[in-house]
Amino acid sequence: MMTNKPKSTSLLLAVDFAGTLVFAIEGAMAAANGHLDLLGAMVLAFVTALGGGIIRDVLIGAIPPNSIRDWRYGAIAFAGAAAVFLFEEQVRHIPQMLMLALDAAGLSLFAVAGAEKALDYGIHPFLAILMGGITGVGGGTVRDVLLAQVPTVLRADVYATAALAGAAVVVAGRGMKLPKTAVAMTGISVCFLLRMISVWRHWNLPVLGMR
Amino acid sequence: MMTNKPKSTSLLLAVDFAGTLVFAIEGAMAAANGHLDLLGAMVLAFVTALGGGIIRDVLIGAIPPNSIRDWRYGAIAFAGAAAVFLFEEQVRHIPQMLMLALDAAGLSLFAVAGAEKALDYGIHPFLAILMGGITGVGGGTVRDVLLAQVPTVLRADVYATAALAGAAVVVAGRGMKLPKTAVAMTGISVCFLLRMISVWRHWNLPVLGMR
Amino acid sequence: MMTNKPKSTSLLLAVDFAGTLVFAIEGAMAAANGHLDLLGAMVLAFVTALGGGIIRDVLIGAIPPNSIRDWRYGAIAFAGAAAVFLFEEQVRHIPQMLMLALDAAGLSLFAVAGAEKALDYGIHPFLAILMGGITGVGGGTVRDVLLAQVPTVLRADVYATAALAGAAVVVAGRGMKLPKTAVAMTGISVCFLLRMISVWRHWNLPVLGMR
């Protein structure tokens, strides 16, 4: 379990950091909406940005998780919280569609990276898809639990589904030995487009218990 | 920690799969009652059925957890969610007493299997009993947390207590070097009967804070 | 990851057990206030006292966590729950200021011990501070989540901040190769005093979303 894995390339790392920052800002915004203090904003930024990856890493046996090995992830998450704290008014004026697009981008990156890492650790393809989904939505789920709310991913929209679709593309492409970069780009695109189209078209999954 | 452990025999595996299915159906029913969508039902089915075992495996060092190593557990959980989704009306007409009995059976199997696995990993007998309890009730606890409810196991009935009793029988029997199969059957019976009798007799543990 | 670490000395162990007992009593009191049964009180006592350390140990790769390796932690947590159950009236008459001081002491001990353990496992200093904070407040956070409440540490007071300050003192002192015992005593004092003064002066961190 504890073998050395290939290090992320610098492009991947930059992309990972960008996703972390976007999710951290969203976490801190949720803290602001809940009237939490600065510490609460830092906690929710950290949890939202890094919780999904931490859960995945614990489950696949990559312990300590990446964001506990590398201090830069936590630093970026806290920078996101500080940005919201210092520039709350400006952050609130970011157009909603831009935030949705950035969030969809972060979701896509996390889902694809999560599925890839799970495959690298020898996890079964079916479960690697789940690990991709958890990487994408796990952080937001823990954030909502800490806010004593039913996680929004359980309630609404094609969100986790988009993450699973992107992860499934990666797993399928890897299974067919297709070029890794092309597979990753396709997975990211599928997740991003599925998410954005579902927002635009108000797609939802069928709901149970609606007799 | 990461040594090879004896594989489950096929009977044990069948029993484990049956418990997974029952718990998954209950998780999906909870999702239906909360008006969650299909994805939410799949998540709650997975979490309810496999969350307890995952927590136990992480705590005893059996990482990746069993249900992340073996795709069949997740597949069975999702099959349970799909069954609820497709046949919700019929599932709702399953007599309550039958569901209670199936749930008690699942609880018994999980608690006994959880205590046995903890002992196999060299966990202290006292903590192996706790691990059995967590295996039995952990999934339902996480499900309730995701539904933003105080877990029912904390509130009411002889439920976790029955799981702990079944696990204690296993730990005691193993400590006395009694035959494994007889010990497991006894543990399962004790948990099952304690749970069913407590439902029938409306047994409850004493409550604090009732001055 | 799984190397042998130096065993705690008996003084450290006694201090650790004392902190466990205080936190367990607080957990069981929360259960009493929520009208949970005896089992619920045991669960909340265990989670409040040992949850933070368990999360830290999983994240730094010290698996199984300390309190799953050593049965005495769980036994002490349950003893705390039993004490609340048997002597609830008397426990309620413990002066609030004494409980606050005992809680601050427990917080200080846990935060300092958590940061030290993280450093011992080779975690980066910045993240070791976080691990100290998690050790101090993680258990109370999980307890509040189980009670379906927004964790109090996210909402109010200089509580997690004091834990982080104490952990930071330890990390800084260790980085400067200062004597371990003096560093630990200083970290504990800083956390304890910061917490008590903040209670006395009604200090709070700035709050977001208060336009």
Q: What is the ipTM of this complex?
A: 0.86
* Residue A125, pLDDT above cutoff 60: yes
Q: What is the pLDDT of residue C211?
A: 40
Size of interface A-B (CB pairs under 8 A): 94
% of chain A surpassing 90 pLDDT = 65
Q: Do A150 and B63 touch (CB under 8 A)?
A: no
Q: Identify each DSSP E strand in chain B by its residue range.
A: none
- pLDDT digit string, tens, across residues C150-191: 998 887 678 899 999 999 999 999 999 999 999 999 999 999
The full set of domain ranges for chain A reads 10-201
Number of H helices, E strands in chain B: 10, 0
pLDDT surpassing 60 at residue B2: no
Closest in B59, B207, B211 to C64, CB measured: B59
pLDDT at C92: 83
The DSSP secondary-structure symbol of A158 reads S
| Better-predicted residue by pLDDT, C88 or B63 | B63
Q: Return the pLDDT at C16.
A: 86
- Rounded to a whole number of angstroms, the distance from the CA of C28 to the nearest CA of chain B is 9
* Interval A70-80: pLDDT, tens: 999 999 999 99
CA A64 remoteness from chain centre: 19
The predicted pLDDT at position C1 comes to 40
- Best CA proximity match to A39, nearest among B24, B26, C198: C198
Half-sphere exposure of C203 (CA within 13 A, CB side): 15
What share of chain B has pLDDT > 90, as a percent?
64
pLDDT above 50 for A211: no
- The beta-carbon neighbor of B1 closest among C2, C33, C44 is C2
Q: Model confidence at B38, in pLDDT bands (50, 70, 90)?
A: confident
In eight-state DSSP terms, residue C9 is P
Q: Is the model more confident about A6 or about A159?
A: A159
B157 phi-psi bin (left φ>0, alpha ψ -120 to 50, beta other): left
- The per-residue pLDDT of chain A, averaged, comes to 88
pLDDT of A206:
67
Q: Which residues of C touch B (CB under 8 A)?
A: 2, 28, 31-41, 43-44, 46, 54, 58, 63-65, 68-71, 74-75, 84-85, 88-89, 145-148
* Pairwise CA distance, residues C145 & C140, whole Å: 9
A: neighbours with 3+ CB pairs under 8 Å?
Answer: B, C
From the CA of A161, how many Å to the nearest CA of chain B?
Answer: 7
Please give the residue that has the higher pLDDT: either A124 or C37. A124
Long-range contacts of C67-70 (CB under 8 A, 24+ apart): C68/B59, C68/B60, C68/B123, C68/B127, C68/B131, C69/B123, C69/B124, C70/B124
Inter-chain contact A68–C58, Cβ cutoff 8 Å? no
Instruction: Nearest chain B residue to A133 by CA: give it.
Output: B43
- Determine how many CB atoms are found less than 10 A away from the CB of residue C211: 7
Distance from the Cα of A211 to chain B's closest Cα (Å) equals 9
Q: Summarize pLDDT for C3-51 with one digit per residue, the tens.
A: 444 445 677 788 889 899 999 999 999 988 888 888 889 999 999 999 9
The pLDDT-based confidence of A104 (bands split at 50, 70, 90) is very high
